[in-house]
Structure 1
Amino acid sequence: MAYVRYTNMVSFTSIGSKNKKGFPVILTSNKSVHRLSLQFFLSIRQNLSINTVATYATHLCDFLSQLETDNEGLPETDQIQWDEIDDAWFEGYSNELIRRYCSEADNSTNYVSQVLRTVIAYLFWCQNQGFARNLIGSTDIFRIRVKTDESGQKASHPLVTRLSRQKSPNRSAPNERWIQVVKESTTLVNIQVRYRYELMIDWCVASGLRAHEVCALTMHQLPSRKTAVNAHINEENVFINLKVTKGSKSALLPISPLLVIRTWDFIENQRVKILQPFLEIARKKRVNLVEPTEIFLSSTTGRAINPRTFSNQVRSAWLSAVNSNQLTEDESVWVHGFRHRFTTNKRKALKNDELTKHLTRHKSINSLDTYSFEYLNGEDK
């Protein structure tokens, strides 16, 4: 069976790269490096944190292990028996994942859809790099049929889409104590990165932002510090124009002026320190590095932090809190749960579902029930 190992230290030569430990490498059952997956990890690591690449490695390790089981090992050349992989095989693999990971008590297929999404991305990369022929694409000449975006660089499979849309069992919105525990349980040690992590959580809880929305916030969207200070003195809200949203529709959101002031503190202090190493490397190499406009930057890439990286950081902190008995497995905290918390808070405070629907950017009042069902049943505390 394939398995994942992690490097003690790895050095990249691209601008802004630092020596890192924990870069994933997949080994086959005969203990040889699976070079094709390694090339894939190297191609995506520029835009993702090493922790996120490690998550991809876990997904692909499962996929490669299934191929090893089906074919009594992987070829020495790292090439896969592409002819055996088609939509029927993919659906069978999906059913096997569901059998393994989805119990009757928890029929959520979210994890399965994540694994399959990684596999599709990997196979699509293999196709585009010339390692496979007629394997995956948007026309009937391909054995796996997918839809591609306008750039032709991303692919989505209908099975993955269907699984990701299946409703998970209702979960209580994480309460304030759980969220505080997850803030304190993070394994992030860098002061600037830790402050960024906590501030991003505060933005999600205070304004109901989704992971990709908070990651896309730019400095140009923020009201000025002076505007925020004046609003705080006058006990007023300030507003931001949210441009990156789920439905790509802009929205004007009221924001606490204190949150804006704290964000400017982060920009002028911690964010500068996160970006500084990348500016220094660019200067030494005499390369012009255009500063990103996003507020929350990755310390790995110097660009906007990836939503999946943020989600992984929250989940890692939650698992740490569970392992240390600070939280139970029922006291779930996840990134989209912050939006549940925001919705529940608004519903309790306003007692006006129409206004709550507007502030939370839901299409219908009925959709509020999924986010705050425990409030309706008198269970939220």
Structure 2
Amino acid sequence: MNKKKLYNLVSNFKIYDYYSYRSKQIRTLKIDNCPIVHYPDNTPCFEANSYLLHLLFKGLSQNNGGTLETYASAISLLIRYCYLNKIQRISTLDNDEFVDFINFLKLEKSKTGKFIRRSNQIIMIGQRCIEFLIYVQDLYNLKNFIGIGSQYRIRLISKITLEYRSKTKVTICTHSSLPHKVPSLKKRPISKDHAIKIRQFVSSNTDESLRSRNLCILDCIELTGARRDEIRSLKVQDIVDALQTKDQYPSLRLITLKTKRNDSYRLVPVPRTLLNNLSIYIRRYRRRIIQKSIGTNSDHGYVFISHTSGHPLSVDTFTTYMHEWASGAHIDSKVSLHQFRHKFITEKIIYLIQEFQIENKYKFREAFLEIDKLKLIVQQWTGHKSIKSLDTYIDYAFLEEKNIDALIDKVLTKTSIFSITEKIKELENSYLEEKITKDFFLDNLRKTVMDYSSLLSSSDE
């Protein structure tokens, strides 16, 4: 089977959204990267693309591809199967053909002879294809195409409707050909030891500009709790705006994923040291690279760029970097960027526990969820759509104090002190290893000490 990807991400895609009677104009929805599914002969697949637009208007994330791309990837496999097996219309697919499609997913191997997909991935692909086929049934008002019972051409064995995030109802369908689910280990935050090893490896890069950029990426991952797409979307203007505020904990603007529109964002308080590091990278290295590559007039404004082409780093590049850093640090276990997000959220909860000597996790969860202001602030930091999503990070208990403003200041202060301490260590190591000049070392050390002094002064007030 031809393994060429059967969808393309179209940038700056616009589609009709609604008609404004007030302005008497058609309003469009702009999509930065919209997946367009096509057959192997490059003919667009109407049913697949109609389904993706249906998902888009339901609110699936499409930032840099996002969740919408994962659906495109799954159903494009079914589109390829139909094309290569001369099934002219998707609406004529039958049960035996669907079983054959799932068996192919199970048996496909790589060049080295290993199975390409695991059971859980096959289940995910199969269920999304079933959801797509149910949409096709509704689209053409078909009778007896897919459902539970012998009268259907594609026969499901169960169809369960679950309530998701208190409001949204989700239907999960199962087919007899799908494999059994393999229990997966609960995702855990990256360990402190692994985080230190990765930072040490990144700091060892002899290329000064790459070292500066990669350390800034790592700082953003660790100190904002942002998703990889959100870090990729950081703009130079976001850094400038945050640095211009006089707040002790400046707020950095981050695009929030898992939303329908691209204009959804949140403000996350960050250590000023992080912003200073980003500013140094932008002024000292990024500006020069942009001038030499795409030119200042074509500057797209994204902070993190390729040092050869000047173009923004892709989402997959961030994942590739993390794998390379973990491998270079001789970490055997799999490391993902999302583990740093887990670490960020978990550390905030641990700070609360340490501050108020919490004893019981159930009492802590109860108290945490009762305090509206704290709920909203933590949700703002993390960009979760539902406050219930934070429950998985609460393993301790009982918030005895209700001075929320003081509590938040103490949590942010601990984060800032950690950031400053790590920055001083990096500067010292880089200077001793002659990776930076004496003037550069002293200038950055002076700024870092000023940040620390300012932090201590505000803590005493």
How high is the TM-score relative to the length of structure 2? 0.43
Q: Aligned partners of 1:83, 1:243: CA distance in 2, in Å?
A: 42
SS at match of 1:221: helix
2:376 paired with 1:359: no
Decide which of 341, 344, 363 is 1:342's aligned counterpart. 344
Q: Aligned partners of 2:389, 2:308: CA distance in 1, in Å?
A: 37
Decide which of 183, 193, 207 is 2:224's aligned counterpart. 207
Q: How does 1:195-274 map to 2 (within 5 A)?
A: 195-223=212-240, 227=244, 236-247=248-259, 248=261, 249-274=264-289
Residue 302 of structure 1 deviates from its aligned partner by 2.1
Q: Which has the higher strand share?
A: 2
Q: Aligned partners of 1:320, 1:372: CA distance in 2, in Å?
A: 33
Decide which of 165, 170, 179 is 2:186's aligned counterpart. 170
2:331 paired with 1:327: yes
CA contact (8 A) 2:242 2:250 kept: no
- Structure 2 gaps of 5+ residues are 5-39, 43-63, 65-72, 108-114, 129-135, 141-171, 174-178, 354-363, 398-461
2:304 corresponds to which residue?
296
How high is the TM-score relative to the length of structure 1? 0.51
Residue 312 of structure 1 deviates from its aligned partner by 1.7
Q: How does 1:116-127 map to 2 (within 5 A)?
A: none
Q: Aligned partners of 1:267, 1:90: CA distance in 2, in Å?
A: 52
Residue by residue over 1:256-301, the C-alpha shift from the partner in whole angstroms, topping out at 9 and shown as x without a partner, is: 1000000000001121243243146xxxxxxx95111111112354
Q: Aligned partners of 1:209, 1:239: CA distance in 2, in Å?
A: 13
SS at match of 2:381: helix
1:368 corresponds to which residue?
390
Structure 1 pair 83/344, CA: closer, same or farther in 2 (3 Å)? Answer: same
Q: Aligned partners of 1:167, 1:271: CA distance in 2, in Å?
A: 44
SS at match of 1:366: helix
Task: Kindly provide the amino acid, as one letter, of the partner of residue 181 in structure 1.
Answer: K
CA contact (8 A) 1:216 1:244 kept: no
CA contact (8 A) 1:217 1:294 kept: yes
Q: Aligned partners of 1:95, 1:302: CA distance in 2, in Å?
A: 44
Q: CA RMSD in A?
A: 5.0
SS at match of 2:343: helix
Task: Kindly provide the amino acid, as one letter, of the partner of residue 257 in structure 1.
Answer: R
- Structure 1 gaps of 5+ residues are 5-34, 38-47, 49-58, 71-78, 118-135, 141-157, 281-287, 377-381
Structure 1 pair 167/239, CA: closer, same or farther in 2 (3 Å)? Answer: farther
Residue 335 of structure 1 deviates from its aligned partner by 0.9
Residue by residue over 1:226-270, the C-alpha shift from the partner in whole angstroms, topping out at 9 and shown as x without a partner, is: 647x65xxxx11112323533253212111100000000000112
Residue 221 of structure 1 deviates from its aligned partner by 1.3
Q: Aligned partners of 1:254, 1:370: CA distance in 2, in Å?
A: 23
Q: Aligned partners of 1:112, 1:300: CA distance in 2, in Å?
A: 40
Larger Rg belongs to: 2
Task: Kindly provide the amino acid, as one letter, of the partner of residue 348 in structure 2.
Answer: K
Count of paired positions: 256
